[in-house]
Amino acid sequence: MRRSMLGRLAVAACSLSLLTAFAPAAVAQADGGGHDRSYKKVGYFTQWGVYGRDFQVQDLEANGSAGKLTHINYAFGNISPQGRCFTGNVPGEADAWADYVRPLDAANSVDGVADTGEQPLAGNFNQLRELKAEHPGLKVLISLGGWSWSTHFSDAALTPASRKAFVESCIDLYIKGNLPQDGARGGAGAAAGVFDGIDLDWEWPGSAGDTDTTYRPEDKQNFTALVKEFRTQLDAYARSQKKKTKYELSAFVPTAPAKIDAGFDVRRIMRDLDFVTLQGYDFHVSGEPRTAQQSALRARGDFSVDGTVDAWLRRGAPANKLVMGMPFYGQGWTGVSGGGDGMGQPATGPAPATWAAGYEDYKALKKLADSGTYTIHRDRRGGHAWLFDGTTLWTYDDPQVLRAKTGYIREHGLGGAMFWSLDADTADGELMTAVDRGLRGR
């Protein structure tokens, strides 16, 4: 798993030491109720989800999500020790087979036609191209880094020369689509037109991330310069192609004020970014000794979505460029003692789960909720929910929570919603539908 769940647990646990009480969110200018504006709906598609979860691009068409999304962030692209975007078949580092080599049969293809051995583009990239053909307004961004693959971001951003070379390599690989040759697959321009921009998922400039991820005090100024370099080169390439619309540039950004201040010159980067997606989850994680909310809308004296929005607004981010992150998964604990509804109680460890202890897809949690063995609890003021059976607790977002969050987006004039990750939704796209309906004011 490229954005390893253990890594995601670690970053949030690390953030706890930086815990700061948040003031109430500053209210941005509303948009007249939100009915007349277009909101971004950004979903992460995981490269590795095509294996164990068997979640293919075609499933976005089958479950109705494709017609509701405005953006798909493809997770992830990696950065080499030399500071270049790259792909290949390197276990744990790159998966060209999933990206553009793997042939899809007719049943798993968006257009219903099986891939041939001769076509230069297959795999997820070709399916994304077919999905865009069915939905012309849909944009696909390549997301660079993630928890596990932010290792070399700091080195790549270190100097003007390294930044220039790094950005050139990413544009060449993903925007121009010049893929390495792999048998009949790949070659010059093979993936041209698949990606409409780049999402920077550096976790985290200026502060600790995964155990092998380099960070430096100067990352803050270097990240600002890197964003500028991406904006400059993307715009230049768009002009050279006489492209009518620009290539988009976004970034995934943290909730902890200390991490924001260590790595992000907010006013400057927001000039060059089209939007940022806010960390709206993993506020607390199953590696902690007590149960707690992981994605509350509001929480006095604790991490929350409202506190994250407020932190970015106070530092100069425009409200309409803030896209709220929402989890399509839950954090879980077992061995919970102390009685009551289970929230805030001691636990013996992460709950058993399908893919990783303490982490479960919404589609599995929905089955638990419907089983009758768990009770659904809600903090309506805080805007979060959890399941508890007396021993095991799962904190998660369901459609009712997402309705409250989309109402908040509309009320505060935010830019939209982002979700990690699309493969965790139900077969009929229940969470995606809830977000879409909520942003439409329905």
190-205 pLDDT per residue, tens: 999 999 999 999 999 9
Is residue 203 annotated as part of the catalytic site, yes or no?
A: yes
- Give the SS3 label for residue 314: helix
Residue-wise pLDDT for 84-104, tens only, equals: 999 999 999 999 999 999 999
Q: Say if CB 47 and CB 77 are below 8 A apart.
A: no
- Mean pLDDT lowest among 9-13, 16-20, 131-135: 16-20
Burial class (CB in 10 A: 0-12, 13-18, 19+), 437: middle
Residue-wise pLDDT for 322-345, tens only, equals: 999 999 999 999 999 999 999 999
What's the confidence (pLDDT) of residue 91?
97
Q: Which residues pair with 219 in a beta bridge?
A: none
What mean pLDDT do residues 45-54 have?
A: 98
Rg of the chain, C-alpha, whole Å: 21
Which tokens in the block code for residue 213?
């991820």
Does 373 map to a domain? no
Does 429 map to a domain? yes
What's the confidence (pLDDT) of residue 244?
93
Does 197 map to a domain? yes
Which amino acid, one-letter code, is at 48?
Answer: W
What's the confidence (pLDDT) of residue 30?
36
Q: Which residues pair with 334 in a beta bridge?
A: 349
CATH number at residue 432: 3.20.20.80
Q: Is 10's pLDDT higher than 90?
A: no
Furthest CA-CA distance within the chain: 65
Q: Say if CB 114 and CB 106 are below 8 A apart.
A: yes
Does 366 map to a domain? no
What distance in Å separates the CA atoms of residue 395 and residue 299, rounded to the nearest whole number? Answer: 14
What count of Cα atoms within 13 Å lies in the side-chain half-sphere of residue 195? 31
**Which candidate in 130, 203, 229, 360 is catalytic?**
203
Which tokens in the block code for residue 404?
């409250």
What mean pLDDT do residues 291-319 have?
A: 98
Residue-wise pLDDT for 343-360, tens only, equals: 999 999 999 999 999 999
Domain tally, the chain: 1
Does 402 map to a domain? yes
What distance in Å separates the CA atoms of residue 26 and residue 17, rounded to the nearest whole number? Answer: 24
Burial class (CB in 10 A: 0-12, 13-18, 19+), 236: exposed
What mean pLDDT do residues 270-299 have?
A: 98
Query: According to DSSP H, which parts of 241-283 are helical?
Result: 257-263, 266-272
What distance in Å separates the CA atoms of residue 223 and residue 181, rounded to the nearest whole number? Answer: 32
Residue-wise pLDDT for 111-165, tens only, equals: 999 999 999 999 999 999 999 999 999 999 999 999 999 999 999 999 999 999 9
Domain limits for position 187: 5-328+398-439
Q: How confident is residue 427, by pLDDT bands cut at 50, 70 and 90?
A: very high
Length of the chain: 442
What's the confidence (pLDDT) of residue 37?
64
Q: Is 440's pLDDT higher than 50?
A: yes
Mean pLDDT score of the chain: 93
What's the confidence (pLDDT) of residue 189?
98
Q: What percent of the chain has pLDDT over 90?
A: 91
pTM (whole model) above 0.85: yes
What distance in Å separates the CA atoms of residue 123 and residue 316, rounded to the nearest whole number? Answer: 41
What's the confidence (pLDDT) of residue 339?
93
What distance in Å separates the CA atoms of residue 178 and residue 169, rounded to the nearest whole number? Answer: 10
What mean pLDDT do residues 64-92 have?
A: 98
What distance in Å separates the CA atoms of residue 237 and residue 333, rounded to the nearest whole number? Answer: 49
Q: Say if CB 205 and CB 215 are below 8 A apart.
A: yes
Determine the distance from the C-alpha atom of residue 385 to the mean position of all C-alpha atoms in its chain, rounded to a whole number.
Answer: 21
Residue-wise pLDDT for 217-276, tens only, equals: 999 999 999 999 999 999 999 999 999 999 999 999 999 999 999 999 999 999 999 999
What's the confidence (pLDDT) of residue 19?
33
What's the confidence (pLDDT) of residue 175?
98
Eight-class DSSP state of 304: -
Q: Looking at per-residue confidence, does 26 or 162 come out higher? A: 162
Buried b (16+ CB within 10 A) or exposed e, 368-387: bbeeeebeebebeebbbbbb
